[in-house]
Amino acid sequence: MWIARLVLVVLLATPGAAWSGLPDPPLGTGEHADAWRPDPMHEYWDPATFHRPETGRMAGIFAGKECLECHAVITPGIVKDWQASRHATTGTPVLCPACHGEDHQKLIFPTPQTCGTCHPERLAQMEEEKKYGFPSHALAMERVVDAKHFADKPKAEVASCLQCHSVASKCDSCHTRHRFDPAEARRPEACLPCHSGPPHPDDESFFASVHGQKYLQEGKNWDWNRKLAPGNYPAPTCAYCHMRNGNHQVADKAVWKFGIREINPRTAENTIKRKRWQETCADCHPSGVAEGFFAALDAERKASWNLLYPVEALLKKLRSQGLLRPSARERPPYPMDLMARLLPRERIGFFEGQASAFYNVSAIERDYFELWYFNSLAAYKGMAHQAGGYAKSMHEKMEEAARAIEAQARALTEQGAKPLDLTPIWMEGEYTRFNREHN
């Protein structure tokens, strides 16, 4: 009998579902694909998903040199770049249709997969990064579009995220179009547009090191057309170590990553990664030198966590005393953050997700965020790039910040937190409401 019922349910359910109307395909991508829709720039950031070819003019099939006849006049810059590239000067030139297609009504924006048809090993190396998890170039796009605040905030306010995070879907983040010059991508400047500023102080910390100083002094005279191989460069720069021998897999040696969570440097995985670092250092230094750097880095990290944990505990104590004002209850949560609406709670530290809670918080929380994320990260990057002096100055900054937070906490405990009149600044208002409705 139950089999008959089951069959009946299956038979009725299928046409029933079709009749009731299946949901429309989501406009965005990622976990919250339904909650946002792309703006026009998205066809640049994620062409595979969002590029819609321009139709309505210039119908026709154009092969090879025909493209150049018009584009040399309309867009002379990209043609000149292409003419200077190896694509143009190689035996059989790689012409426009190879990447963009021939049909002007169905032009495509190249993706890494397009480049991978001729450079499969580079594409495979980049894709391989996914094996190592977050953060990585290859998973950078997911990291943005899966963030609740990305889907939730007005697109105008998250437009800049994708400028860097689109590295997952664009080879021309580093090899700018249409020159696609390896020499350009080998220089540190190729990394700096994204790897700079508080969340990735790679520029400051590297340039403070001996390697970095040597590059700043002499780098303009180096021949960047040479491969990233031992003996070709007087000092290593970003790509030499992190993309050893031109390996486009940049995550294979990343141990501490963003440094916002204390990790075990002796897991099986990290043991292998450190071995790879040792091999990299051994290109120039006696083998074993890296050991000393690892010991220094481990000591630096331990010192940082010894400083950070008490401050984190202090903030949690303030939270339990209700001294973090405005409290999570008083702050307007992101509309999509259901948990934050049901159980408003100030998120402190890595495991509570403070890394994504740096807006819309109380002053002392923000101070701790900068100490824990930005200053600690800078100290670790400094030590990892062998810029000991930079690391030391960052530690002094951390101690200063910790003292300031302690003083602030003492004042809060003694005087009590003042209730604030929260005039909605950016979470409410005409502009925000309009954007949210048209998101």
Partner 1 sequence: MTAVTHRVIPIQPDAGKPAPRHIRRLMPVNQQRSLAGRYAGWVKMLSWLAFAWAFAGWLNDTWFYQFNTPLWLNRYTEYALILIFGLWRIWAEKNPYTRKRLLLLVGNVAVLWWAIPWLFPFIEPHVGYLAGLPAFPALHTPGTITFFLVLAAVFLFGRRVICGWNCPCVAIREVVGFPFRHNDHVPRGTWPWRLRHLKWLWFALYLGAMWAVTRPANNTTTAFLGFFGLMVGLPYFITFLLTPWIGNRGYCRFLCPYGATFGLLNQVGMFRIDHDAKTCIECGLCVKVCDMNIPVWQMGKSAGGRVKTTECMGCGRCITECPTQSLAFHDVRNTIFPRLDQNRPFLRARNDWSRPLVRLRAAGYLLVLGITLAGAWYYSAQVGTLNELPARMGALCGLPVLSW
To which H or E segment does residue 318 belong?
Answer: helix 289-320
Rounded to the nearest 5°, which phi and psi values hold at 106? -130, 40
Nearer to partner 1, 196 or 267 (CB): 267
* Cis amide leading into 135 (omega within 30): yes
In the block, which residue shows the tokens 């590295």? 167
* Helix 76-84 vs helix 65-74: crossing angle, to nearest 10: 130
Cβ-based nearer residue to partner 1, 138 or 208: 138
Contact residues for partner 1, defined by CB under 8 A: 30-31, 121, 124-125, 127-128, 130-134, 139, 142, 146-147, 245, 247, 249, 252, 262-269, 271-273, 276, 302
Q: How far is the CB of 151 from partner 1 (least distance, A)?
A: 11
Distances (CA, A) of 160 to 55, 319, 320, 377: 28, 32, 36, 22
- Phi, psi dihedrals of residue 277, rounded to the nearest 5°: -60, -45
CB 45, min distance to partner 1, A = 18
Give whichever of 121 and 291 is closer to partner 1, judged by the CB atom.
121
Distance CA 405, CA 411 (A): 10
Give the nearest distance from C-beta 252 to partner 1 in angstroms: 6
Q: What is the spatial distance between Cα 156 and Cα 146, in angstroms, rounded to a whole number?
A: 17
Q: Contact at 8 Å (CB) between 116 and 82?
A: no
Q: ∠ CA(336), CA(340), CA(343), 5° rounding?
A: 140
**Least Cβ distance, residue 44 to partner 1 (angstroms):** 22
- What is the distance between the alpha carbons of residues 125 and 112, in angstroms, rounded to a whole number? 11
Residue 380 Cβ vs partner 1, minimum distance, rounded to whole Å: 15
Of 309 and 431, the one with the shorter C-beta distance to partner 1 is: 309
Q: Using the minimum distance from each CB to partner 1, give the nearer residue, 102 or 128.
A: 128
Crossing angle for the helix pair 289-320 and 376-384, nearest 10 degrees? 180
Q: Say if residues 104 and 61 touch (Cβ distance below 8 Å).
A: yes
Whole-angstrom Cα distance, residue 290 to residue 246?
21
Q: How far is the CB of 106 from partner 1 (least distance, A)?
A: 26
Rounded to whole angstroms, the Cα distance separating 94 from 260 reads: 44
Token match 């390996």: residue? 247
Nearer to partner 1, 134 or 431 (CB): 134
Q: For residue 248, give the amino acid letter.
A: H
- Rounded least distance, CB 248 to partner 1, Å: 9
- Counting runs of H as helices and runs of E as strands, what totals does the chain give? 24, 0
Given a contact cutoff of 8 angstroms between Cβ atoms, the answer to whether 260 and 374 are in contact is no
The neighbour count for residue 283, using CB atoms within 10 Å, is 16
Which residues make beta-bridge pairs with 103?
61
Work out how close the CB of 266 gets to partner 1 at its nearest, in angstroms, rounded to a whole number. 6
Write down the residue that tokens 């579009």 correspond to.
145
At its nearest, how many Å lie between partner 1 and the CB of residue 35?
Answer: 14
Min CB(337)–partner 1 separation in Å: 12
Minimum CB distance to partner 1 smaller for 93 or for 116: 116
Q: Which is nearer to partner 1, 67 or 260 (CB)?
A: 260
Q: Which is nearer to partner 1, 203 or 312 (CB)?
A: 312
Q: State the Cα–Cα distance between residues 273 and 267, nearest whole angstrom.
A: 10
Nearer to partner 1 by C-beta: 147 or 162? 147
Calpha distance 370→373 (Å, rounded): 5
CB of 175 to partner 1, least distance (A): 19
Cα-flanking dihedrals φ and ψ of residue 317, to 5°? -65, -45
Smallest separation (angstroms) from partner 1 to the CB of 283: 14
| Residue (38 or 135) nearer to partner 1, CB | 135
